[in-house]
Structure 1
Amino acid sequence: MTRVDPIDSADARDGRRHRAIVIGAGLGGLAAAMRLGAKGYRVTVIDKLDVPGGRGSALWQEGHRFDLGPTIVTVPQLYRALWSACGRNFDDDVTLKALDPFYEIRWPDGTRFVAQQDTDKLRAEVAKLSPSDLAGFDRFLNDSAKRYWFGFEDLGRRSMHQLWELIKVLPTFARLRADRSVYAHAASRVKNEKLRMALSFHPLFIGGDPLHVTSMYILVAYLEKEFGVHYAMGGLAGMARAMGNVIEDQGGSLLMETQVDEIVVRDGAVTGVRLGSGIEMGADIVVSNADSGHTYNTLLRNHKKRRWTPKKLARTRYSMSLFVWYFGTKGTAHQWPDVGHHTILNGPRYTGLLRDIFIKGKLCDDMSLYVHRPSVTDPSVAPEGDDTFYVLSPVPHLGHDNGVDWADEEPRYKAKMLAMLEEQLLPGLGDKISTEVVFTPETFRDRYLSPLGAGFSIEPRILQSAWFRPHNISEEVDGLYLVGAGTHPGAGVPGVISTAEVLSTLIPDAEVVE
């Protein structure tokens, strides 16, 4: 990606297109920059990392590509619409490969549940666990469809910064029992505890506690079944590079390895940003893809806030954090043939473990794991004959009173993770590992500037969603906008991409300034 020279405010308005600065080259920031470029803005994206993608970036080590964050693409029409808005064809730039089955869930007693798109095959999986729950499962899928069309296609595609927009939909929220949690809704439809887990764990992919996140998020079940689950060849990092190419083709630039220290405000409106070097860059509008807590507490630290004060943000409930172990294995491409692209390994507890992670902030000896083996789909992630894995365990964020010293805990926790993997999924793994990287909650705090080291920004509880979530258009400063997981609709890659679509409805087309 190219580097650009700073431009002062006068130059930004002297015979040039209106300028926009996007803070953060995560997927939300890149999508926002593409949308703004399509509207005629000259866009500069600034990010502290050396590659675009944010949490969706990658590391390369000893021939292995480690995709650091999101691993799947759902609702592919969102991306095609984004590219189309820029006059481009998504499928010319990114190759999607459908994954079916989507993933396999395993329990310690050997029980398995294979999530897949075909309804008859999926119902057969339900019947293996609990034949008496088939009717309830059918009802759950119907419930999921209703919430998708309301929660995603309606609320998720428009701004919710006006209170009236919330008031208008309160009757629908009540009718759809948005006050009920995802787990409670699953429990109201099926009796089998394993099936309840299989139908309710999805909020963990967006940082939410299934015991407390609003049941609107059961929409994920419909979203997966209706549109499929896909893998972007080259990973999300490859998609991020493709997004960066579109931005540059529009005349925009990506300024990498550069950190924004402050959003500059004069007379109540943004005039640009100040970099860590002290250099000031001017802009007509600023879009922050940084975590909303970091945006308001740090980047706007010298500006008095009316709503998103430090006190209010201190009361905000953030998502859990993550312990992620990335590793490559030597000569295992044909080993473990029953282990596919995605596997979820359950520990002995489900609801108890969730309470320990989200409420008590307690790091436990037992764990549940998400295992990503992209090399079965995309050989480019590893040297020939080898494998690339990432294994993720939800853990408490750094804000709990009984905090963990991760420098001390990391080797112990990794050893427990290895023991579970060898026992339940990958026998002999320890002797095959050739290279590795570990991310702890402290990595999320330092690499992504995420408050409390949270993995997914603000938790999507009902009173932290829609109007209650930080708005896409800031009420604190004129000319400031927010995108990404910490704003509306946020939560999950489709939500993050949708924040840029909402943004495009709030910002007028640019005009050439003479």
Structure 2
Amino acid sequence: MLRSVIKRRTRKGAALERKKAIVIGSGVGGLSLGIRLQSLGFDTTIFEKLDGPGGRAYVRRAEGFTFDMGPTVITVPHFIEELFALERDQPALDKPDFPAAVLDENRRITSGVSGGPATSKYVQIIPILPFYRIYFDDGTHFDYDGDPERTREQIRAIAPEDLEGYERFHRDARAIFERGFLELGFTYFRDVPSMLRIAPDLVKLDAVRPLFSFVKRYFKSDKLRQVFSFEPLLVGGNPLAVPAIYAMIHFVEKTWGIHFAMGGTGALVRGFVRKFEELGGTMRYGSEVARIEIEGSGKHRRATAVVPADGSRHPADLVASNGDYVNTYLKLIDRVHRPSHPDIRLKLARQSMSLLVVYFGFRSDGLNLDLRHHNIILGPRYEELLKDIFGRKILAEDFSQYLHIPSITDPSLAPPGHHCAYTLVPVPHNGSGLDWSKLADPFVDRVLRFLDERGYIPGLGERLVYKSFITPDYFEHTLNSRLGNGFGIEPVLWQSAYFRPHNKSEDIANFYLVGANTQPGGGTPAVMMSAKMTAREIARDFDIPFDVVDRPQVRGTVAK
């Protein structure tokens, strides 16, 4: 069926070979697109610079410990199920993006196995509760698990005067989620009119106001303002600057929960690789792409091949990049072929913050560890620290961190009697001029000493058996990330929707982008969404028929 679409015929009627596709980068976005391209009927090769898959989701193994190096929060499990259920030459682009079953408020999984039947063939995904334990600087904490009564109970304990504000926030965040995610989440803003059509709705919902300003309208307590605004930091956004449409993250998590792949996110990545290869795709590791070949000029430019660092040439009928948006255009494509992306525009693109991530293993014998799988440890300052990181771009004396201890859930990730962990500290990107060759070691020691002395992991200094770390330099030089950003283009209002990098190149036919830099944005669910959006653009360009099913009526159908 679709194979007859992909196979073109000569004038004599002889079938030509299947079209060839190349994807640059094997992050979650690149793997998701690779799977979809195979289901569209292409023969797809993924070129990956590293010696294994994952990109930011690469896995580090050392001394019996297994560390996910990047994303660890999994939500919207039906996106994963949809990918694992795809078949060769059966793209399923015309199925509902949000089937009615996944919108049923009683369907949120809080125990057992999260994945559907297709997912379970490749990886075991389980729910995590609470979603996050959020520690404040005074030692108190808030367990966020999405349960409305438990949430109200904790608000009552912290600031009972904010209960009424929470009800209003809950109502308004839900409206943003229903319009911004369920109804518009897969909308590709290819032109200005497509954005202008929905702008009045977003203004009416107050979704363009900065998120922290939006949250302050509902909560007087500084603690609750932090609880309900921190989440964009997990996708590279500054709560003081991202538009309030990011309040929908609260409802994305509340509706479908937070989940964990047993074996770590790397196990999910390996499942994607296995699925891709079962569909006929090819992985090439240790193959950094040095150049994308473009033929023609003006409206007739076309991507025709990629050239890795070894100088070999690999022709293709389409090329897609899961790499950094700025560096893809700036370093892989000659400027004469990208008039819509001149050097100055690319270099002025505002990048997300970067990260210092410490990977460590420690002995757990005799230790009463009162932590959870996901822990947010907030410092004494919130707004001013965000200004230091995103605005002033300085390394402050204080810090906040996300502490991930997956061996609480999956002991196989550490040797017996041990825990594995990573702690992630937001820091300025390399536009700051900070010299991490001098700053990193003492800063890492401060972070670990803080966890010890403040009692999060008592005696950590004596229990520590393994330590390594990455800085913005890793993101810049190993992951080829512009200025060492940790999440791609910063999700500010003027880099959102139509103004975010396009999934289909404006300048070059048969050249596409996918991943956190593109529409709709960052975060594991969003990059899987971007792959579906990019696949739809490719299907249109290659005359592969599909009809997008109308969005369901969602009002009143999601978690209350």
Cα deviation, 1:350-389, whole Å, max 9, x if unaligned, reads 0000000000001011000110000000112101111000
Measured at CA, do residues 303 and 275 of structure 1 come closer, stay the same or move farther in structure 2, by a change above 3 Å?
farther
Measured at CA, do residues 475 and 431 of structure 1 come closer, stay the same or move farther in structure 2, by a change above 3 Å?
same
- Could you say what secondary structure the match of 1:200 adopts? coil
Among candidates 293, 302, 321, match of residue 269 of structure 1: 302
Cα deviation, 1:86-144, whole Å, max 9, x if unaligned, reads 37812221211111111111122122111013211111111111111111112212222
Task: Indicate the residue corresponding to 1:221 in structure 2.
Answer: 250
Task: Indicate the residue corresponding to 1:239 in structure 2.
Answer: 268
- Could you say what secondary structure the match of 1:153 adopts? helix
Q: Retained in 2: the 8 A contact 1:343–1:372?
A: yes
Paired with 2:23 and 2:279, the residues of 1 have a C-alpha distance of: 15
1:501 equivalenced with 2:525 (yes/no): no
Paired with 2:278 and 2:208, the residues of 1 have a C-alpha distance of: 45
Alignment of 1:359-378 (within 5 A): 359-378=391-410
Measured at CA, do residues 511 and 119 of structure 1 come closer, stay the same or move farther in structure 2, by a change above 3 Å?
closer
Paired with 2:312 and 2:372, the residues of 1 have a C-alpha distance of: 49
1:73 equivalenced with 2:74 (yes/no): yes
Paired with 1:151 and 1:313, the residues of 2 have a C-alpha distance of: 27
Alignment of 1:465-484 (within 5 A): 465-484=496-515
Q: Retained in 2: the 8 A contact 1:441–1:453?
A: yes
Paired with 1:149 and 1:108, the residues of 2 have a C-alpha distance of: 34
Paired with 1:440 and 1:357, the residues of 2 have a C-alpha distance of: 14
Q: Retained in 2: the 8 A contact 1:156–1:488?
A: no
Which stretch shows the higher mean deviation, 118-127 or 194-203? Answer: 118-127
Paired with 1:141 and 1:50, the residues of 2 have a C-alpha distance of: 45
TM-score (norm 2): 0.86
Paired with 1:475 and 1:412, the residues of 2 have a C-alpha distance of: 46
Measured at CA, do residues 234 and 86 of structure 1 come closer, stay the same or move farther in structure 2, by a change above 3 Å?
farther
- Could you say what secondary structure the match of 1:508 adopts? helix
The one-letter amino acid of 1:416's match is: R
Which stretch shows the higher mean deviation, 105-114 or 24-33? Answer: 105-114
Task: Indicate the residue corresponding to 2:141 in structure 1.
Answer: 112
Cα drift, residue 14 of structure 1: 8.8
Paired with 2:452 and 2:161, the residues of 1 have a C-alpha distance of: 34
Task: Indicate the residue corresponding to 1:176 in structure 2.
Answer: 205
Gaps of 5+ in 2: 1-13, 89-116, 545-560
Alignment of 1:88-107 (within 5 A): 89-107=118-136
Task: Indicate the residue corresponding to 2:57 in structure 1.
Answer: 56
Cα drift, residue 302 of structure 1: 4.5
Task: Indicate the residue corresponding to 2:93 in structure 1.
Answer: none
- Could you say what secondary structure the match of 2:83 adopts? helix
Measured at CA, do residues 147 and 85 of structure 1 come closer, stay the same or move farther in structure 2, by a change above 3 Å?
farther
Cα deviation, 1:139-162, whole Å, max 9, x if unaligned, reads 212222222222222332121112
- Could you say what secondary structure the match of 1:448 adopts? coil
Paired with 1:91 and 1:161, the residues of 2 have a C-alpha distance of: 36
Task: Indicate the residue corresponding to 1:486 in structure 2.
Answer: 517
Among candidates 411, 415, 426, match of residue 441 of structure 2: 411
Task: Indicate the residue corresponding to 1:4 in structure 2.
Answer: none
Paired with 2:234 and 2:228, the residues of 1 have a C-alpha distance of: 13
Task: Indicate the residue corresponding to 1:323 in structure 2.
Answer: 356
1:150 equivalenced with 2:150 (yes/no): no
1:129 equivalenced with 2:164 (yes/no): no
Measured at CA, do residues 188 and 334 of structure 1 come closer, stay the same or move farther in structure 2, by a change above 3 Å?
farther
Q: Retained in 2: the 8 A contact 1:361–1:397?
A: yes
- Could you say what secondary structure the match of 2:78 adopts? helix
The one-letter amino acid of 1:81's match is: E
Task: Indicate the residue corresponding to 1:311 in structure 2.
Answer: 344
- Could you say what secondary structure the match of 1:143 adopts? helix
1:292 equivalenced with 2:316 (yes/no): no
Measured at CA, do residues 303 and 26 of structure 1 come closer, stay the same or move farther in structure 2, by a change above 3 Å?
farther
Paired with 2:226 and 2:161, the residues of 1 have a C-alpha distance of: 16
Paired with 1:125 and 1:16, the residues of 2 have a C-alpha distance of: 62
Cα drift, residue 301 of structure 1: 3.2
Cα drift, residue 307 of structure 1: 2.1
Q: Retained in 1: the 8 A contact 2:337–2:508?
A: no
- Could you say what secondary structure the match of 2:253 adopts? helix
Among candidates 262, 274, 277, match of residue 248 of structure 1: 277
Cα drift, residue 334 of structure 1: 5.8
- Could you say what secondary structure the match of 2:197 adopts? helix
Cα drift, residue 472 of structure 1: 0.6
- Could you say what secondary structure the match of 2:293 adopts? strand
Q: Retained in 1: the 8 A contact 2:176–2:207?
A: no
The one-letter amino acid of 2:440's match is: E
- Could you say what secondary structure the match of 2:31 adopts? helix
Cα drift, residue 450 of structure 1: 0.3
1:442 equivalenced with 2:470 (yes/no): no
Task: Indicate the residue corresponding to 1:9 in structure 2.
Answer: none
Paired with 1:144 and 1:453, the residues of 2 have a C-alpha distance of: 32
Which stretch shows the higher mean deviation, 58-67 or 178-187? Answer: 178-187
Paired with 1:301 and 1:438, the residues of 2 have a C-alpha distance of: 35
The one-letter amino acid of 1:203's match is: P
- Could you say what secondary structure the match of 1:85 adopts? coil
Paired with 1:126 and 1:86, the residues of 2 have a C-alpha distance of: 47
Measured at CA, do residues 198 and 22 of structure 1 come closer, stay the same or move farther in structure 2, by a change above 3 Å?
same
- Could you say what secondary structure the match of 2:359 adopts? strand
Q: Retained in 2: the 8 A contact 1:178–1:462?
A: no
1:460 equivalenced with 2:491 (yes/no): yes
- Could you say what secondary structure the match of 1:494 adopts? helix
TM-score (norm 1): 0.94
Kindly report the root-mean-square deviation, in angstroms, between the aligned alpha carbons of the 2 structures.
1.6
Paired with 1:74 and 1:97, the residues of 2 have a C-alpha distance of: 11
Among candidates 383, 390, 410, match of residue 422 of structure 2: 390
Cα drift, residue 304 of structure 1: 3.4
Task: Indicate the residue corresponding to 1:352 in structure 2.
Answer: 384
Cα drift, residue 306 of structure 1: 2.4
1:381 equivalenced with 2:393 (yes/no): no
Cα drift, residue 249 of structure 1: 0.9
Paired with 2:41 and 2:228, the residues of 1 have a C-alpha distance of: 44
- Could you say what secondary structure the match of 2:380 adopts? coil
The one-letter amino acid of 1:70's match is: P
Paired with 1:249 and 1:232, the residues of 2 have a C-alpha distance of: 21
- Could you say what secondary structure the match of 1:337 adopts? coil
1:83 equivalenced with 2:116 (yes/no): no
Q: How many residues align?
A: 497
Paired with 2:48 and 2:139, the residues of 1 have a C-alpha distance of: 45
Percent identity among equivalent residues?
Answer: 37
- Could you say what secondary structure the match of 2:217 adopts? helix
Q: Retained in 2: the 8 A contact 1:100–1:117?
A: no
Gaps of 5+ in 1: 1-12
Paired with 1:112 and 1:338, the residues of 2 have a C-alpha distance of: 12
Cα drift, residue 198 of structure 1: 0.5
